[in-house]
Each structure stands twice: as structure tokens, then as C-alpha cells.
Amino acid sequence: MNIKFLGGAREVGRVGILINYGSKNLLVDYGLNPGNPPSYPEAAPPVDFVLLSHAHLDHSGMIPWVASHYNAKVYSTLLTKEISNVLYDDMLKIAEANGYPFPYGKEETDISLNNFRCFESYSEIKMDGMDVKFHPAGHIPGSVMIEIKNLEMLFACDINTIETNLLHGAKPVKAKNLFIEGTYAGTEHPDRRELEKEFLDEIDDVIKKGGKVVIPAFAVGRSQELAMLLYKSGYETWLDGMGSKIADLMLKNKKCIKSPDKLKKAMKSVNIVYSNHGRKLALKSGIVLTTSGMLNGGPVLWYVDKIKDDPKSAVILTGYQVEGTNGRMLLERREINMYGVREKVNCNVKFFDFSAHAGHSQLIKFIKDVSPENVIIFHSENPMALAEEIDANVYIPNNGEKIKI
């Protein structure tokens, strides 16, 4: 069996894993790095089909290209297809607004949506001589680990092993060949319960002092996770951006989330912003959860602009801020690019690590429990940190390099 990473090896993002088995070519994930402009993986050769682990664009962003180009079928959960569709529309709008060339358009996206073959959740699929099984990945709703039984392979393309409000943690599945992400190789997360407490205490402090809290959050997963946490803790919260649309999709695909009733209650209790008037009410009320999570556009900029000179108020970041984003600049330099103008941010800026990825020890434990013969580490900037602790044959391929297992 030959394997080649078209992208996503020794880097976080733009994953594309090409597997050549007999006369078959198949692809696991095919994404891009959203940016201005985005960066892409190597062009895929003709493939028989694609298996898609989840909707994040670094795994799904190039699916419309490959599915329309080669008329390839795409296997995923229904929720992954539905969320991807929303993200494609958004990405095409951004590409058009910024005027950079893009590898596909609406037509290709529509063709690819027709080529999806979807499963409600964690199904076993038999096709084309392949025996595939989806397992919950605990990362975002709809995400799966992909087991190809006849090739003894397990793909853990973005996993989280801890329990959160939204999802159960991923459970290990025995496999001979394990492909695993290493986003947080070498880095541990804080204990989630303690983190939640500190986060809520911080919000309490700001509100008691008469300040406002703006919480930038990713539309997929983080917005809903935090809405559930804030609801459970009795806070009146306003939600702005794509998070409520995505929550509706999650509630339609109940098997992909841990507790549909709890998410439903939380979403009913939050106030949704639909207009500029709503935005003013939200800010007046005090706690706003809004996209985008890394402050690269979206309604969050309006809110930050309003509170940035108020020393009583706070921007509370809840996710990893990629190098080169507004969020990273805010964290490191207390500055933000506000509609093309760089401005100083004088309010409080805090960071809480609500990650959707397994931390170092969690990855190590997961790998041990899978008890593989071969481990292929990807989606990582620090793969050696994991490799050193793994008792198996470890592969850390480069993009474009062919490996045989």
C-alpha cells in the first residue's frame, strides 16, 4: 500500500492523504488553509472516492474541486456535508470580496454536494471492495475517525478524547496502522472543569465591575459549547454570527451530539442577534458570543470596536489563534486590524484554552490503547514530541513523499 500526503504533513492544515491500494486511489480528507489568500495542498490525481472526517476547511475545503474534477463520491456524515456546505458558501463570498483567484466556484460546489453519500452518524459502509467504519471523533459535531477494516487502518484526523458539554470523547479502536493528528504534540491542556470555572469567574469579575464581555468563538462547535456552558451557569447571553445556523444543523442531526435536549435548551435561552438594533441590545446586556473566532472579520469586530477603550470590559479568546490572524495580533500586541486600520486595544484581553483537540498525554494514551504496529503522525508542527514516546514504528512523512506500509 502506497501513501502520499498531498498536504498536512509536518504542518497543521490543508490535509490530503492519498492511498494507493491495488488499482484503487482513494483520498482521506482534502482541505486548504483559509487565509488571504488561502494555501492549497498538491493537486490530487484521479481518485475513486474520498472519505471525509469532518467539516473544518483544513480537511474539507478542496472537496468541491476533487469531487467535481473526477466525479468522485464523497463519504461523510450528513452533518459534515451540511456544515461544509455553509462553510463553502462563506469561503466563496470571502474569496470574491477579496478578489483573489479561487480553484472552484458555486457550480463545482453544487456538483460535489450531489456526489456526497452520507450517513446519519457512525455507520459501517461497504463499497467498492472496501469495508469502512465511522467512529465518533469527539472533535466537532459530525466528525468521525475513519476505520478501513480491510486495510487495517484507522484515521484519527482531529480528535478530542475528553468529555465536553457538546460531545463525548473519542474512544480508541484497535488498528494495525494508525494515522493520527498531533496538533498539540508536546503541549498539555488545562483540566477542562477548572478551565470552565476560571472562565466563568473571569466573566463574573468583568460584569460586576460594570464592563462588557465579548467572546469571539468559532461558528462550528465552540459557539454551541460555550452557549451550553453559559446557559448551565445562568448567564444571559447574546449570540451573533453563524453559530445559530450551525446549531440548527446540529439539532437536525441529533445522533452527532451528546445531549440534543441540553443544546436545544441552551439555544432557546440565548438571544440571537439578527440586526444592528440587536447588536446594540446585545452589547448593552453584557455578554456576547460571536464569530469569527480569530477576529478575521465577522460581527466580532463591531463589538471589539465598541469596547476597546473601556478598561472595565474584556475580550475573552477561547481558541487557538493562528499566526498572522487578528486574534494572534490582539493577544501578542494588544492591537487589531479594524477594517484596514490598525488600532490599539486598551480593554482587557484574556485567553482560555477550550481546545477541540487532544493534548499531548491524551494523544499518547490514545495511541497506546489503539496498540498499532505503525503510527503515521501528521497535522503537527512538533511530531517528534509524540514520536519519542511511542512504542511502535513511527512515520513522520513530508508533503509529497511516498511511503509504503
Residues of this chain that interact with Zn ion (CB under 5 A) are 56, 58, 158
CB closer to Zn ion out of 15 and 345: 15
Pairing, β 213-216 against β 144-148: unpaired
CB closer to Zn ion out of 108 and 158: 158
Amino acid making up residue 33: N
Taking the complex as a whole, how short is the minimal distance between the CB of residue 147 and Zn ion, in angstroms? 18
Taking the complex as a whole, how short is the minimal distance between the CB of residue 143 and Zn ion, in angstroms? 7
Taking the complex as a whole, how short is the minimal distance between the CB of residue 396 and Zn ion, in angstroms? 17
Contact 375, 390 (CB under 8 A): yes
The span from the CA of 172 to the CA of 156, in Å, is 9
Contact 357, 54 (CB under 8 A): no
Closest CA to 52 of 35, 73, 38: 73
Pairing, β 16-21 against β 2-7: antiparallel
Taking the complex as a whole, how short is the minimal distance between the CB of residue 58 and Zn ion, in angstroms? 4
CB closer to Zn ion out of 58 and 240: 58
Taking the complex as a whole, how short is the minimal distance between the CB of residue 343 and Zn ion, in angstroms? 31
Which three cell numbers, joined as nine digits, stand for 214?
A: 465579548
CB closer to Zn ion out of 83 and 282: 83
Taking the complex as a whole, how short is the minimal distance between the CB of residue 377 and Zn ion, in angstroms? 14
Cβ count within 10 A of residue 62:
30
The span from the CA of 359 to the CA of 90, in Å, is 30
Please tell me what DSSP assigns to residue 273: P
3-state helix, strand, coil in the chain (%, to 5): 35, 25, 40
Burial class (CB in 10 A: 0-12, 13-18, 19+), 277: exposed
CB closer to Zn ion out of 158 and 240: 158
CB closer to Zn ion out of 148 and 356: 356
Closest CA to 149 of 118, 124, 119: 124
- Cα 235–chain centre separation: 26
Taking the complex as a whole, how short is the minimal distance between the CB of residue 150 and Zn ion, in angstroms? 26
Closest CA to 30 of 22, 42, 20: 42
Contact 2, 20 (CB under 8 A): yes
Taking the complex as a whole, how short is the minimal distance between the CB of residue 160 and Zn ion, in angstroms? 10
CB closer to Zn ion out of 58 and 82: 58
Closest CA to 12 of 220, 182, 150: 182
CB closer to Zn ion out of 58 and 147: 58
Taking the complex as a whole, how short is the minimal distance between the CB of residue 282 and Zn ion, in angstroms? 28
Pairing, β 144-148 against β 130-136: antiparallel
CB closer to Zn ion out of 32 and 130: 32
